[in-house]
Structure 1
Amino acid sequence: MATWEGVPSTIFQVLLQGQFLTGFLLYLGATSGQIGFVIALTTLVNVAQIGVAFLIQRLPSRKWALVTFVSIHRVLWAATGLVPFLFPRPFWVSAFIILYALAFIANTAGAVLWSSVIGDLVPPRVRGRYFGIRNTLLNALGSLVVYGGGVVLDRYPGAQGFLILYIVVWIFSTANIIVFFFYPDVPFEKSEERKFVPMFKKPLHDGLFMKSTLFLSLWLLLQNVTVPLYSYVMLQLLHINYQTLSLLNVAQTVFMMASFYFWGNLNARYSNKRLLFWTLPIIAVSSLLWGLLSVLPLFPVLFAAHIVFGVGVGGFNQLAFNFIIGDTPKKERPMYMAMYAALTGLASFIGPVIGGKVYEWIDGWPHGFQVYGMQLIVGGLMIALIALLGRRILKDV
């Protein structure tokens, strides 16, 4: 059921994220700073997961709370497509941001509940392989949807193309809500703590967990200065069309899928933390590859950068998820997950905000620096972070 639920979820989320989110915001009249802020909003609200992790301990059933918050999130996010019909043009960006923020506030609760349920649902001995297979299947589907959405927007540019995409979004977001009704209501092993402060302190007193989480938060801050704005660079500065951009994302996703199986099998032999460390240099190299645009043709460099990033970030996301649901105490897992989400979410919020503002500041600088200068700087900082802290913190004990 968790795998089937991912099918409509993948379809509508792919059409509302990445290049499509950037394109729609550009259509609404957003600046690079506003685009960075919108991208960052989804992670900022994760701070509220700490409160949600405490409150769900009082729920008699996680299932119906999960259905409720998922439904609110899906409806409000899909409703962003109604902005051009409901508001005057000067208010389009503001209205989008309000609906988007409300949607992801609801998603904060839904994410804690889903992670808690799926952590109890999938047995630890098959967890790495299961998520490798699930992620592979859903990302294969996502690749087809990305390409199809790009073709639609190139063939029907502007309002008509986005209208078609949002019709599809409404269909599959509704289907996604329906499938959640069939999720099993698995037993909930609750924390032994009944008060907020003692429960909150549990992960804080876990030195290994906090060191790893703070390091990964700093890493994600760096990564998100540039990566979420790749679509902005390619659409606005390199003037690449949606279909070509979709092909780049499909290439990234195909190699990400291949890496899921690879990382999943390695996870049966090596710890989550050790494998997490191995993904970091790969992500750093993907950022540095953008510098080759100064001497090599555009598309081979972009394809290489996307492919390498797909391999690295596929492993990172899968292993980070396994780390928080597998390397943490079962009874305290919701608060551990919330602490991880809050700290990495805050860092991931700061990153795109900084990146969006920097792209506004360097407007008018040499074209080459605008296109790949930030990636070179961030890639260099990533290598330094790996050398100084990575090996020491993400080590096996």
Structure 2
Amino acid sequence: MKLFDVYPLFDITPVRAEGCYVYDEEGRKYMDFYGGHAVISIGHSHPHYVSRMQEQIAKIAFYSNSVQNPLQVELSQKLGEMSGCEDYQLFLCNSGAEANENALKMASFATGRKRMVVFEKAFHGRTSAAVNITDNDKIKAPINATFPVSFLPLNDLAAVEEALSKEDVAAVMVEGIQGIGGIYLPTAAFLEEVAVLCQKYGTCLILDEIQSGFGRSGNFFAFQRANIQPDLITIAKGMGNGFPVGGVLIHPRFEASYGLLGTTFGGNHLACVATLAVLEVMEQEHLMENAREVGAYLKAGLEQLPNIKEVRGEGLMLGLQLHQAAGPLRNKLLFEHSIFTGSAGQADTIRLLPPLNIGKEEVDMLLEALRVLLV
């Protein structure tokens, strides 16, 4: 049997990783400015994370959600405390796409409606409902078009109000920062006005914080630059630092009922401990503060480089837009300077999503490599 080809692969086989570095089978050292697709939040093989996971797997790694799991309670309390969302309810699942599927379901249950309003360049996942609200027709199968969707320009408040006033919309869903779309931010004013419109028209507001959450923007959630309380918040990626974890934060106005949502693996013992370890390291090592400080330092340095069209983003979630295709530069960074960076839906944009414990020394190394390559 052969593997089903999903991604074009670099000719590199990582076998070990530590901090913000990855090592291949020949011992070559690579600096990780991609974080394995924004997944590595506290750094590779963090000692506290490794210790917590080893201790837990020696006790119990999994049992079903038909029994009590005190780790879930501990996690919900810690997550509420650190995120400022103490009043929310937590549903645990396994991935970002699954989190978005369940958030969409909750919005439809609550409103009795089907239509969703989302934004151009949005990426919300590859599963059935999530891919239907993703702005990429190439990854949609005919079976995915199961409910009506309106794709609107980001930050166009008039378009949102027109859509909500004409249609019975179940939810407006927006990324705290658009990731794959090329690192575009909804403004604080836009988010605040959309929240008002959702309340006016009885529509749910869903914030997709799967890539932008868990401190990456410098706030726990990227939407927290605005004064809003979303109905539903979806999380994953950096949540488990490599262990598959996802979740939905559900506003207290939603009432739970048995069987409404469900999961086999979601919230298992290892997933809970992985997330608790991430939160503990974030708190102990002040990683949100580091994301703000080092992110600002990185952004300022990028803006001084030659031949740059635009630098977008917040914290350690930045997009570097060039005047030419980004692919050749990414390859040169990787193979000539041993630095991993990420692609975006826009062919001229590089995404920078390093671990939140990246330092100014690593930033300087990236900036120096870019100065050499961008002349």
TM over 0.5: no
TM-score scaled by length of structure 2? 0.28
| Structure (1/2) with the larger strand percentage | 2
Relative contact order, CA 8 A, sep 6+: which one is greater?
A: 1
TM-score, length of structure 1 as denominator length: 0.26
Larger helix proportion, structure 1 or 2?
Answer: 1
